[in-house]
Amino acid sequence: MSDTGPNQLQAAYWTSAAGPQWVQQQAMFDHMLGHFGHAALKVLAAQAGEHIIDIGCGTATTTLAIADAVGPTGWVIGADISTTMIDAARQRASASPQATFVVADAQTERIAPVDQPADAAFSRFGVMFFADPVAAFTNIAANVRTGGRLAFVCWQHEQDNEWISLPAGIMRQFTPEPVLPPRNAPGPFAFHDRGRLGEILSAAEWHDVLIEPFSAPTTMGGGLGLDAAVTQSMSTSAGQILRNQVDEATFAAATKAVRAALSERMLGGAVTFPGNVWVATAHR
């Protein structure tokens, strides 16, 4: 992967900053995202013998699920911009020969073999970070055969997801210079606007676009209680920005305030919020 491409800042962030955290907290993230990944995998409906690319595959959780579905006669290629993530994915998938992995920018680089395009492209929260989403989905389409399909899940608006908006709002009260991403900028909530997302996919020449809302419980900290939920919340980008701008005493005060708010969301020993996403499908 080029170090000078349009998404080089994302590559650096997901390799050096967010990647190590994700690898360390993989079980927490998988627990948190499980319902949403399953919903997207259900509409993907991978079949035995199929060829599928997994965009933004992270540490291979969904890649392995797809590998099981396509079986030994199929293959799945997990692609991620982060070398940290791909290194972890390769270790996890060593017993699944039908799963292979590449460090690649899906906006600009080829993933599936030129002479063997994929039957489908899939992503669990891995497609919201492109500098040019139309170019990215156009390139993804070029990796998929005519008549092939696309299935992915992405977050609705931050304000529709209290698992992030509640602690982030508290942390920003303690942050001298809160950093709020520009509207529609690359990031977790870049596709919050359902209409804009549909326009992006249509402009990239995907057809039969369907974008459906899906809601499910979002459990913080891997369901391991309040301490784990606070740790995960304070490790978000809002928490990292806060830590870089304030002293230890202020960070501790913000952590205490977040803990108090999360404690009110305990359900069955875990901090749980409703989560709201879009599940999108389309055809090539």
Q: What is the mean pLDDT of the chain?
A: 95
- Tell me if 2 is assigned to some domain: no
Query: Helical H runs in the chain?
Result: 8-12, 18-24, 26-44, 61-70, 83-92, 133-142, 162-174, 194-203, 226-234, 237-245, 248-263
pLDDT of residue 4: 72
* Rama region for 46: left / alpha / beta (φ>0; ψ in -120 to 50; rest): beta
> Containing H/E element for 16?
none
Q: How far is CA 40 from the centre of its chain?
A: 12
Say how far apart CA 267 and CA 198 lie, in whole Å. Answer: 36
Domain around 89: 8-159+183-218+277-283
The pLDDT of residue 160 is: 97
Within 25-161, residue ranges assigned H as helices are 26-44, 61-70, 83-92, 133-142
**Sequence letter at residue 280:** A
Residue at 100 is within a domain: yes
Tell me: pLDDT of 279 over 70: yes
More confident residue, 22 or 243: 243
Instruction: Give helix then strand counts, H and E, for the chain.
Output: 11, 8
pTM of the model: 0.94
Q: Give percent of the chain with pLDDT exceeding 70.
A: 99
CA-closest candidate to residue 28, choices 163, 123, 162: 163
For residue 241, being part of any structural domain is answered with: no
What average pLDDT does range 253-278 have in this prediction? 96
* Position 99 in a domain: yes
For 14, 72, 104, 150, 236, the CA distances from 18, given in Å and listed in that order, are 5, 33, 17, 26, 9
**Does residue 17 form part of some domain?**
yes
3-state secondary structure of 225: coil
pLDDT tens track for 88-116 = 999 999 999 999 999 999 999 999 999 99
Domain containing residue 201: CATH number: 3.40.50.150
| pLDDT beyond 70 at 2 | no
- Please tell me the distance from the alpha carbon of residue 172 to that of residue 169, in angstroms, as a whole number: 5
Q: What is the pLDDT of residue 1?
A: 61
Domain total in the chain: 1
Residues 87, 92: Cα–Cα separation, whole Å: 9
- Beta strand extents in 167-269 (DSSP E only): 207-219, 266-267
Over residues 205-224, the pLDDT tens digits come to 999 999 999 999 999 999 99
Q: Is the pLDDT of residue 254 over 70?
A: yes
Mean pLDDT of 45-51: 98
Q: Is residue 141 domain-resident? A: yes
Task: Record the tokens describing residue 73, joined without a space.
Answer: 């006669």
Please report which helix (H) or strand (E) contains residue 97, including its range: none
- Write out pLDDT tens, residues 133-171: 999 999 999 999 999 999 999 999 999 999 999 999 999
pLDDT for res 247: 97
How far apart are alpha carbons 21 and 103 in whole angstroms?
18
**Is 1 contained in some domain?**
no
Higher pLDDT, 19 or 32: 32
Q: Is the predicted pLDDT of residue 182 greater than 80, yes or no?
A: no
Residue matched to tokens 């992503």: 123
Task: Report yes or no on 174 lying in a domain.
Answer: no
pLDDT of residue 3: 65
